[in-house]
Amino acid sequence: MSKEELRDLLIKEAWEGLKNSYSPYSKFPVGAAVMGADGQVYRGCNIENVSYGLTVCGERNAIFNMVVHGCKTFTALAVVTSGKGDAAPCGACRQVMGEFCENLDTPVYIGGGDGEVLETTVGGIMPYPFLKFEGVE
C-alpha cells in the first residue's frame, strides 16, 4: 500500500470512528484510526464524561483498542474532527502514541472539518519524548 493509500484509508476509518463519538459536553467529536503492525486497522473515538478528567480521547481509544486485540505497535495514525480547526492530539495522547508507535518517524495524519490533512510524525508532534523509564535504585 502506498503512503497516500495508507493516509486515505486511515482518514476514512477515522471518520467512521467519529460517528461513535460521545461528546455532549465539548461538542467536539473526534475519530481516530491506527494501522497496527499486524496489518489491521483499529478505530477509536472520544468518549466524554461529565467529570471531564474521566474523558478519553479518540487517539488513545484507537491505540487501546489495538492493544486489546493483541497488537502492541502501530505504524500510522489518523485523527479527525468535524469541529472547527483540526484535531491535533493532546499531550496525553502524544505520550501514549510515543509508547506504542513503531518509531518516532511513524506517520500521523491530522484532519479537520475543512477536509485538509496535515501530515507529520510522532516525533514531529512530540520532540524530546519521555519514552524510557530508568527508575531509581
Q: Which residues are catalytic?
A: 59
| Residues 95/127, Cβ–Cβ less than 8 Å | no
End-to-end CA distance of the chain: 47
Show binding-site residues for substrate: 46-52
**Cα dihedral value 98, 103, 105, 106, nearest 10:** -70
Assign 19 to helix, strand or coil: coil
Show binding-site residues: 46-52, 57, 90, 93
Show binding-site residues for Zn(2+): 57, 90, 93
